[in-house]
Amino acid sequence: MAEKSELIQNKVIKDIVNQHLDIWALGYASSLLGWDMETYMPKEAINERSIVFGRLSVLQQRLLLSDKMRELVKKGEKEQNLNDYEAGIVRTLKRRIEKFEKLPPEFVEELEKVRAKSQVVWREARQKSDFNLFKPYLQKLFDLAKKATEYWGYEEHPYDALLDFFEEGLLTRDVEVMFSEIRPRLTDLLQKILNSPEYMETHPLEEAEYEIEKMRELNLEILKLFQFNFNRGRYDISAHPFTTGIGITDVRLTTRYGGKNFKESLLATIHEFGHATYDMQIDERLMATPVAEGVSLGVHESQSRFWENMIGRNKTFVEVNMELFRKYMPFLKDYTVDDVYKYFNLVKPELIRVEANEVTYNQHILIRFEIEKGVIEGKMQVDELPQIWNEKMQKYLKITPPNDALGVLQDIHWSMGSIGYFPTYSIGTILAVQFARKLEKDLGSLDDLIKAKKYKEIKDWLREKVHRWGSTYTPKDLVKRALGEPMNPQPFLEHMEKKYKELYNL
Amino acid sequence: MAEKSELIQNKVIKDIVNQHLDIWALGYASSLLGWDMETYMPKEAINERSIVFGRLSVLQQRLLLSDKMRELVKKGEKEQNLNDYEAGIVRTLKRRIEKFEKLPPEFVEELEKVRAKSQVVWREARQKSDFNLFKPYLQKLFDLAKKATEYWGYEEHPYDALLDFFEEGLLTRDVEVMFSEIRPRLTDLLQKILNSPEYMETHPLEEAEYEIEKMRELNLEILKLFQFNFNRGRYDISAHPFTTGIGITDVRLTTRYGGKNFKESLLATIHEFGHATYDMQIDERLMATPVAEGVSLGVHESQSRFWENMIGRNKTFVEVNMELFRKYMPFLKDYTVDDVYKYFNLVKPELIRVEANEVTYNQHILIRFEIEKGVIEGKMQVDELPQIWNEKMQKYLKITPPNDALGVLQDIHWSMGSIGYFPTYSIGTILAVQFARKLEKDLGSLDDLIKAKKYKEIKDWLREKVHRWGSTYTPKDLVKRALGEPMNPQPFLEHMEKKYKELYNL
């Protein structure tokens, strides 16, 4: 139990943790309610369930902003000689309290209303591919985001305030530096691939049909290979793959089965396994405390991308598991390791971000970042966005969406008011390579580790460097402690150029 | 949404319902957490989950006993011209508040500690069949129950206070009158059956093995026959069958599969369907209000017993579904309708309550009632209970347990501090027959309804008379409104004597 954790010795911090327990329990319950909604909830339960979500979320906020909680956190800030865990608890709660208390209740209420309505309208707009339907809502959402930047405040750039909400301490400047380094080299890499005689727009394995039960068994085999702890987790089906760390001892991932293109289900499972392993390997002594969760979206994504890109899309991984793949996907008897490896890493300019490959993925994010920043700065207008989107797609990805459903309307994020969220995906992709390089320095090459099935060693390393800390450190501090350096796109770019040079004979 | 319900017009009551919404949402969440714990929760999640249960329950109590809630309910009590729903809301909340506020916090804390420990010790004691292990805890639990009767107060008998906790308004006197009527006639009926040449101690179908998947399919067929609404409910597997009304639009029942003795799984499913239908047919306009739940354990059990005993164990039901049974239980090709009917209604003196048949079931309850009352009155001592138990078993059921695991230690209830709970099972069994008779007056014979598959008509009748009201009326009022008379064991006794006279040629 949290209040007995040996990691927390300071009396004030113990009081804070105890005072926070109800908030933590409400978060735990909401996570289960959310997981259930996507997996087993009967469909007509949705309205009643929505009332529950609303109440629990308001209750959580009320407890967080209670006089007692705020006073305790203020007291905690004045404490001397806190250990890292204790300091992390104060930092985490102070941050959460500030995010809420700086927003006036009328603003929060309006935001919630606009978000609720926007999601409904966005669905209809995307279905009809009619941007004009969604436009007034998107305008409103960007206006509200601008207002939020004023309430929250910022030092350099208003967009910083939005970034920080999703990734503590992330600055517009950081994202610009990152993209300025990767944009030209990835665009160049993509152009070379498109010009290569090896380029293929489609791969026959994309159309190969599988039995869903066999796909499920293969995914389970992979989870067992990675030693996923089923005594502390579950693996279910949902419309969109996701992972929920309900608690440290209850982490659930899901996948979906499209019936063909087996890499989608397999790599999504490996991706979610990365998220799940992070949530599961948080130090148990932090259970039920405010730091018992992943530190940020970007660092979380680095863990899923590490497993998906650095292991799942690795040639050795394909090689040593080829027989396993063939057992469950019998059509693979007609394909070689090289075929499957190339299929796993097929590069082509797709319209849809969630279907993108390693080479194009960050360009998709770049477009969203440039648009969000442009609108927040007042340099772009909402009604120009479909055109701007299409121009940027052509510029970075050499393809133009035939309609807005496949363009500016494709993502749910904006309709939920999540502006400033997208860059965390790129951060994760870049950090994943840095973690891989550092891990290889400590444990030897990933190829050798994969050959020897040393997944436990890989997980232990990630636990030690990243997972066990929960949100004790800020994302930037955690990265520096783990890697000895801050986020840096160079290893990612080198990895990409080397890998795809070989794959496409560039 | 509750706050917009047209059933609630009074301003003060609307405020009460809104103030209660957080408490309701916490109850909803706890129900899902409980369902999940018994079905899909990974096993090592139990400790973390327990912390969550504890916090949510304390939080619920704190909100219920808040000054605002108490003041609103007091204000509600003074309102004139409340409609029945509004009055029910005030009554329900007043009752819940009083149950909590009359118990001193130190008492509640001690009770919770003793309960938690007692359940662990009881499990061990039952496993080792060692009453002495459990004795000091049982003593403590009865001492605490006695204390509770003083805190809660009573008019006639201290045991009234315990009964009322589980069944609003139920008096020791009511239970005594009930048992004084059924005890001699059921004991006599059992003796006649034991003396009958038709008596069989075992039935070959008890040993017939089934395929679990086929059993599941048969149960699903029956749920479909009864038109269970899968868009508002689920059917899963758990170690012990149960039903949870998470909300009016999310009701989940479970069953288990022992691999043989198919009536167990089938009749348990029909029993749970009765509970589920009650929870599901509460008036939707009461959603998220304090009265959006079944009124009492006894009335809830009347609904499950109605479906289990009056439909599931009915000969016409066996007859018209014999082909369906044979489809999934192929061994039934060697058995007639009469065989299966007799198997469904096999009477023998069992040691274990949960395995009891219709004739012996209430005698099992009687023994528990007499013991609870005896200890609360101070006329029995805890260390005499194994002997008293065995004597009563011999007296009422003509059988003596070979050990305490199969005797006084068999039920979990006392270890949970649930003293005064058992009589509600008998109340349900008796009411089930009264509801059946009344329904037959309105709709024609159950045999004809079953033949015509008029399950919707049966459900509509039960909705109108019982379900839709939630806990608007007290259990006694609801019964009187629905039946035109109070609980009365005569129809039950007549039903039993007629049915078993035919079955055993008495």
pLDDT tens figures, B463-498: 999 999 999 999 999 999 999 999 999 999 999 999
Q: What is the pLDDT of residue B169?
A: 96
Point out the residues of B that are catalytic. 272
Q: pLDDT-based confidence at A105, cuts 50/70/90?
A: confident
C-beta atoms of A22 and B55 within 8 A: yes
Mean pLDDT of chain A: 96
Whether residue A4 lies within 8 A of chain B, CB to CB, comes out as no
| The amino acid at B300 | H
List of residues 6+ apart from B139 with CB closer than 8 A: B382
Instruction: Write out chain B residues lying below 8 Å of A25, CB-based.
Output: 51-52, 55-56, 59
- B-proximal residues of A, 467-486, CB under 8 Å: none
What's the maximum distance between 2 C-alpha atoms anywhere in chain B? 68
Phi, psi of B16 (to 5 degrees): -60, -45
Q: With CA atoms as reference, report the closest residue to B37 among B225, B222, B239, B289.
A: B239
Whether residue A32 lies within 8 A of chain B, CB to CB, comes out as yes
Q: What is the pLDDT of residue B316?
A: 98
Q: What is the pLDDT of residue B109?
A: 86
Share of chain A above pLDDT 70, in %: 99
Instruction: Write out chain B residues lying below 8 Å of A26, CB-based.
Output: 56, 59
Residue A249 Cα, gap to closest chain B Cα (Å): 5
Instruction: Write out chain A residues lying below 8 Å of B248, CB-based.
Output: 48
The answer to whether residue A4 scores a pLDDT higher than 80 is no
At what angle are helices A131-152 and A158-166 packed, to 10 degrees? Answer: 90
Catalytic: which of A86, A167, A272, A358? A272
* C-alpha span between A280 and A250 (Å, rounded): 8
Q: pLDDT-based confidence at A109, cuts 50/70/90?
A: confident
Residue A416 Cα, gap to closest chain B Cα (Å): 23
The two tokens of residue A191 are: 């152009």
* C-alpha span between A280 and B315 (Å, rounded): 54
Stretch among A98-112, A476-490, B265-279 having the lowest mean pLDDT: A98-112
Residue A81's CB: how many other CB atoms inside 10 A? 8
Whether residue B26 lies within 8 A of chain A, CB to CB, comes out as yes
Query: Are A1 and A287 contacting, i.e. CB atoms less than 8 angstroms apart?
Result: yes
* C-alpha span between B455 and B437 (Å, rounded): 16
The two tokens of residue B454 are: 């008029």
Q: What is the 8-class DSSP label of residue A310?
A: I
* C-alpha span between A200 and A219 (Å, rounded): 27
3-class secondary-structure state, position B506: coil
- Residue B401 CB-half CA count within 13 A: 22
Count of H-run helices and E-run strands, chain A: 20, 3
Residue A17 Cα, gap to closest chain B Cα (Å): 13
Query: Are A86 and A13 contacting, i.e. CB atoms less than 8 angstroms apart?
Result: yes
Q: What is the pLDDT of residue A116?
A: 86
Q: With CA atoms as reference, report the closest residue to A251 among A74, A63, A73, A467.
A: A467
Whether residue B428 lies within 8 A of chain A, CB to CB, comes out as no
Residues of chain A by 3-state class (helix, strand, coil), percent to 5 = 70, 5, 25
The answer to whether residue A112 scores a pLDDT higher than 70 is yes
Phi, psi of A221 (to 5 degrees): -60, -40
The two tokens of residue A87 are: 């300091």
Q: With CA atoms as reference, report the closest residue to A239 among A429, A41, A31.
A: A41
List of residues 6+ apart from B58 with CB closer than 8 A: A22
pTM for this entry: 0.95
3-class secondary-structure state, position A282: coil
Q: What is the pLDDT of residue B284?
A: 96
* C-alpha span between B350 and A179 (Å, rounded): 76
Catalytic site includes residue A211 = no
Average pLDDT over residues A3-32: 93
Query: What are the start-end ranges of the H helices in A196-314?
Result: 212-225, 262-280, 297-305
| Closest chain B residue to the Cα of A251, Cα to Cα | B42
Q: What is the pLDDT of residue B116?
A: 86
Of B43, B45, B48, the CB nearest to A288: B48
Q: What is the pLDDT of residue A72?
A: 98
C-beta atoms of B56 and A25 within 8 A: yes
**Torsion sign (Cα): A372, A307, A239, A212:** positive
Average pLDDT over residues A342-364: 95
Query: Are B300 and B278 contacting, i.e. CB atoms less than 8 angstroms apart?
Result: yes
The two tokens of residue A78 are: 């004045």
C-beta atoms of B232 and A26 within 8 A: no
| DSSP letter for each residue of B87-153 | HHHHHHHHHHHHHHHTS-HHHHHHHHHHHHHHHHHHHHHHHHT-HHHHHHHHHHHHHHHHHHHHHH-
List of residues 6+ apart from A255 with CB closer than 8 A: A219, A235, A237, A238, A241, A265, A268, A269, A272
User: In this predicted model, what pLDDT tens digit does every residue of A234-284 receive, in sequence order?
Assistant: 999 998 999 999 999 999 999 999 999 999 999 999 999 999 999 999 999
Which residues of chain B carry a pLDDT beneath 50? 1-3
| Closest chain A residue to the Cα of B25, Cα to Cα | A52
| Residue in the structure block whose two tokens are 């440290």 | A248
Report which secondary-structure segment, H or E, holds A438.
helix A423-443
The answer to whether residue A197 scores a pLDDT higher than 80 is yes
Cα-Cα-Cα-Cα torsion B160, B166, B167, B168, nearest 10 degrees, comes to: 80
Q: What is the pLDDT of residue A274?
A: 98
* C-alpha span between B34 and B44 (Å, rounded): 15
ipTM for the assembly = 0.94
* C-alpha span between A101 and A238 (Å, rounded): 35
Instruction: Write out chain A residues lying below 8 Å of B56, CB-based.
Output: 25-26, 29
- A-proximal residues of B, 243-262, CB under 8 Å: 246-250
Q: What is the pLDDT of residue B31?
A: 97
List of residues 6+ apart from A389 with CB closer than 8 A: A367, A371, A401, A404, A407, A408
Q: pLDDT-based confidence at A413, cuts 50/70/90?
A: very high
